[in-house]
Amino acid sequence: MKARPIDNPPNPWASTAVEYLDEIPPSKLEVFEDHSRQVLSHNDSPDVGFNWSVNPYRGCLHACAYCYARPTHQYLDLGAGTDFETKLVVKPRAPELLREAFEKPSWKGETVVFSGVTDCYQPLEASLRLTRGCLEVCAAYRNPVGIITKGVLIERDLDVLQRLARDARLWVSISLPFHNAELARAMEPYAASPMRRLLTIRRLTEAGIDVAVSVAPIIPGLNDEDIHRVLAAAREAGATRAHHTLVRLPGPVKDVFAERLRAKLPLRAERVLHRIRETRGGELNDSRFKHRMRGDGLYAETIHRLFQTAARKVGLRGSYITEDAPDTFRRPEREPPPTPQLSLF
């Protein structure tokens, strides 16, 4: 990963701020441990089709400019810019905590999604294997699982995924908002290329995994022109379903996104920002439920109809995130402890 100068939007939650009067030092990768006592997060948003998620990592090396999770780093007294991309927080006990949660009588075996915030298959997973450990727990308990990722490292865990698909319920959604490799590199600098993610879709489907393509986010004026190509290529690779959302730029994400856009795509930047405002009532973001994922106005509606028409044309069905999972959850049987042997001597 190429070092870049530290660059973070102002953090309203931080008690102190650093202003460099001389040369700004480069950002460097740092990993911090989170020793939370719980790993399951409950979601009550009406815009998201699942209730429970596991996030083994906070922050993400993929460094996507549009990532809606960037503001969560500010709650840790870190920045939403380069800090989000280089100061990563991991939960080393995530598999153990998930097992403890499944053992509670209150747990009924609902679908658990990896991840609701940052990518569970980002590069750090290659060595830490926290996502794999959590999936092995889900497989042991036959708990339904959903996975949203743009990380091709998911191919490593085909054996666990096949167990989940056979014994419980599994859906995988590969995030692929771009077909144009140059645009993808500008906005998702350290994620795998679009062609490489298409190969992941093919390998998963060949292994019997149910795969959807997530064309998310759609950025008006930038990758809406890619919608049909992405859907056609994903269908050819074996995907059976597709879903999409409009770009969300909450809080400091607006600044990170606009700065990246102007730096990497200067000739298109103002047009893209204008198009986004067309779908957000003149603003760059609309945080209202039922609006934040879809946007409003003629341009937003045109994008949605374009997506639906293209998906139908290539034979892709709608998203299945909201479908009920079967009741497969079972706690593993454990052998009783050995009976103590009494002795007269």
Looking at residue 324, its pLDDT comes to 66
Residue 332 vs residues 103, 141, 168, 329: alpha-carbon distances, Å = 10, 6, 14, 10
What tens digit of pLDDT does each residue of 94-146 get?
A: 999 999 999 999 999 999 999 888 999 999 999 999 999 999 999 999 999 99
| Chain Cα centroid distance, residue 211 | 15
Q: Which residue has the higher pLDDT, 81 or 49?
A: 81
Q: What is the pTM of this model?
A: 0.91
Q: What are the DSSP calls for 47-92, one per residue?
A: TSS-SEEE-SEES-TT--TT-TTGGGGGGGT--SSHHHHHEEEE-T
N residues, the chain: 345
pLDDT over 70, % of the chain: 92
Q: Which residue has the higher pLDDT, 237 or 321?
A: 237
Burial class (CB in 10 A: 0-12, 13-18, 19+), 147: buried
Looking at residue 318, its pLDDT comes to 81
CB contact set of 140 (below 8 Å; sequence gap of 6+): 99, 332
Looking at residue 146, its pLDDT comes to 95
Looking at residue 290, its pLDDT comes to 80
Nearest Cα to Cα of residue 277 among 235, 246, 236: 246
What tens digit of pLDDT does each residue of 182-225 get?
A: 999 999 999 999 999 999 999 999 999 999 999 999 999 999 99
Q: What are the DSSP calls for 92-107, one per residue?
A: TTHHHHHHHHHHSTT-
Phi, psi of 41, rounded to the nearest 5 degrees: -110, 135
Q: How confident is the model at residue 21 (pLDDT cuts 50, 70, 90)?
A: low
Nearest Cα to Cα of residue 130 among 86, 88, 190: 88
Looking at residue 322, its pLDDT comes to 52
The CATH H-level (homologous superfamily) assignment of domain 30-314 is Aldolase class I (3.20.20.70)
Q: How confident is the model at residue 335 (pLDDT cuts 50, 70, 90)?
A: low
Residue 153 vs residues 127, 268, 332: alpha-carbon distances, Å = 11, 32, 28
Nearest Cα to Cα of residue 210 among 125, 44, 325, 105: 325
What is the DSSP pairing of strand 57-58 with strand 112-114? unpaired
- Contact, 233 vs 260, CB < 8 A? no
Looking at residue 316, its pLDDT comes to 96
Q: CA-to-CA distance for 253 and 344, rounded, in angstroms? A: 74
Q: Where are the chain's structural domains?
A: 30-314
What tens digit of pLDDT does each residue of 213-256 get?
A: 999 999 999 999 999 999 999 999 999 999 999 999 999 999 99
Q: Which residue has the higher pLDDT, 43 or 280?
A: 280
